[in-house]
Amino acid sequence: MSGLVLRAVAAGYSGRTAVSSVSFDMPAGSWLAVIGPNGAGKSTLLKAIAGLVPSTGEIRLDGVATAALPARARARAIGYAPQTPLIPDGLTVTDYVLLGRTPHLGALAREGARDLAIVAQVLARLDLDALAGRALRTLSGGERQRAVLARVLAQQAGLLLLDEPTTGLDIGHAQALLELVDRLRAEDGATVVTTLHDLTLAAQYADRLLLLDNGAPVAVGTPEQVLRQEIVARHYAAEVEVLTTARGHRVVVPTRPAS
């Protein structure tokens, strides 16, 4: 079980700060969606938590500073799916998803029956089993996106950092993916941080939303607290209506400006 704590985290590139002043406490098994307009610093924040860009401030996972974790322990603890992953040449879907098991293997050890079973289970849950033997390069965009997420889920890390996991997925596959992540959260206590442009999906799956604008947190709270018409309109420079479904979830609908 991994709880995530950030204190005054800032990160950026070659001396230029892209995100700063981020502090939050996430209990193990909770889901935070980082939202905000393009360039707000969402991906940079996820990369900072994953240790892929240098950061200042404190990032603690299960009470331990992530910077102090040896690389292998960090790879077991943190699963990260980038927005635009590098796709290696020549691998089948199964081989690629098996890479997610690497942090669990001993030195020079090959994957065993348990690793293969975990991979088969994730492939089935993401509707990829029929594609298991296909070369990764030959998949459609949405199929490839699912394979990337399958690799991260096969890693069975306590903290999942998913950057725009539903990009390119149709509505059914997006829902199946988020349901699978939610099951890992509820059953295995995984802590989940996603960036999501789809505010309606964010409202349905995340316990809390963190809205970034121009590299700074401008709102944090439940979907009901953050997805308010005036907040979304101001920070996204968009005309929207915020509706509420029969089950109480917020739905953000763009409304065409009157001409």
Ligand X SMILES: Nc1ncnc2c1ncn2[C@@H]1O[C@H](COP(=O)(O)OP(=O)(O)OP(=O)(O)O)[C@@H](O)[C@H]1O
- What residues line the site for ligand X (CB under 6 A)? 13, 18, 36, 38-44
* 8 A C-beta contact, residue 142 and residue 164: no
Helix count and strand count (H, E) for the chain: 9, 12
CB of 19 to ligand X, least distance (A): 6
For residue 56, the number of C-alpha atoms closer than 13 Å in the C-beta half-sphere is 11
CB of 125 to ligand X, least distance (A): 27
Tokens linked to 50 = 């994953």
CB of 17 to ligand X, least distance (A): 9
Tokens linked to 171 = 């509505």
Tokens linked to 122 = 């994730």
CB of 214 to ligand X, least distance (A): 9
Closer residue to ligand X, CB minimum distance, 30 or 43: 43
The rounded distance, in Å, linking the Cα atoms of 17 and 44 is 10
CA angle 249, 82, 208 (to 5 degrees): 25
Closer residue to ligand X, CB minimum distance, 39 or 88: 39
Token pair 């089935």 is found at: 124
CB of 129 to ligand X, least distance (A): 31
Closer residue to ligand X, CB minimum distance, 38 or 259: 38
CB of 159 to ligand X, least distance (A): 19
Q: What is the largest CA-CA distance in the chain?
A: 66
Closer residue to ligand X, CB minimum distance, 18 or 97: 18
The rounded distance, in Å, linking the Cα atoms of 29 and 219 is 22
Closer residue to ligand X, CB minimum distance, 93 or 226: 226
* 8 A C-beta contact, residue 161 and residue 49: yes
CA 63 to chain centroid, in Å, comes to: 21
Closer residue to ligand X, CB minimum distance, 1 or 238: 238
